[in-house]
Structure 1
Amino acid sequence: MSDTTVYVLNGPNLNLLGLREPEIYGSTTLDEIAGMLEDRARALGLTIDMRQTNHEGMLVDWLHEAQAEGARAVLLNAGAYTHTSIALLDAIKAIRTPVVEVHLSDPKTREPFRHLSYIGMAAALTVEGHGPDSYRIALEAVASGEV
């Protein structure tokens, strides 16, 4: 890894993008988002390391790994763990690598339980509500030095 690598970590159920509640999350798949991000990263002089898991502890491990490997930043769409995971909050606080919280939808416009973001309590930036473009906007923020 190098300081041009950006980890893009995706949490539970994001493997079902394109199929899962398309009226909320759209019809774009995670693989399609990865392809778009790889192209944009290349144009910005960055590389991405895109991953998805349904397991909270794996996300914690990957956050630690991002720092150990010298990643430039992490884009994190923690899915439902956004609203429940103190472990992810603590992992973000424990590393120096900046984390950008990413959401396809805008959680503040959804069910009340989604209004609390543990990830946002420690993230350097939150990008939400832009569909798949949320990832691109977050990547561009990293490339511009905003994060």
Structure 2
Amino acid sequence: MANAIFVLNGPNLNLLGTREPEVYGTETLEDLHARCDRKAHALGFVVDFRQSNTEGELVNWIQEARTDASGLIVNAGAFTHTSIAMLDALLACPVPIVEVHLSNIFTREPFRHRSYISQAAKGVICGFGGLGYELAIEALVAAISRAKAG
């Protein structure tokens, strides 16, 4: 898919809007998808937006992004703090990657302060709710443009 940005969402993000709205806000995953579609379209890109509660499926999608995406945005949910398999897949992915989180993981429980996947990302955006996805798209498009320029 030309100019495609994969946006991958991990476990429990399908519950957005009802799961701990005081932490994650009231936007649903569908609302975030619409935000991403609008922002990407305005910048000349299309979004392939996906969610899974299964680590292996997320790894497969990261591997798919190697050839089918111009860039990758990942909100790995709880896998952020546990998944070496996702880190390994991301490290093998040659496209720019941005990590995003709805909440500020550094103001939460100490176990959330450690991200395995940050090592593979160009940058991390956290704490801005749904706006973080739009900021991630802007940052990713800038990174893709720099990479194309050479």
Shorter-chain TM range is: over 0.9
Q: Which has the higher helix share?
A: 2
Which residue of the partner structure matches residue 33 of structure 1? Answer: 32
Query: Which residue is 2:4 aligned to?
Result: 5
Structure 1 residue matching 2:119: 3-state secondary structure: coil
Q: Which 5+ residue runs of structure 2 have no aligned equivalent? A: none
Question: Residue deviations 1:110-135, cap 9 Å, x none?
Answer: 00000000011211111111000010
Figure out how many residues of one structure are paired with residues of the other and give that number.
145
Is residue 13 of structure 2 the alignment partner of residue 18 of structure 1?
Answer: no
TM-score under structure 1 length normalisation: 0.95
Q: In 2, Cα distance between the equivalents of 1:121 and 1:110? A: 20
Residues 71-114 of structure 1, C-alpha deviation per residue, up to 9 Å, x if partnerless? 11110000000000000111111111121100000101000000
Counterpart amino acid of residue 16 in structure 1: L
Query: Using the alignment, how far apart are the partners of 2:92 and 2:17 within structure 1?
Result: 33
Given residue 19 of structure 1, which amino acid in structure 2 is its aligned partner?
Answer: T
* Unaligned runs of at least 5 residues, structure 1: none
Aligned-CA RMSD value: 1.1
SS at match of 1:82: helix
- Divergent runs of 4+, >6 A: none
Report Cα offsets for 1:6-32 as digits up to 9, x if no partner: 000000000000000000000000101
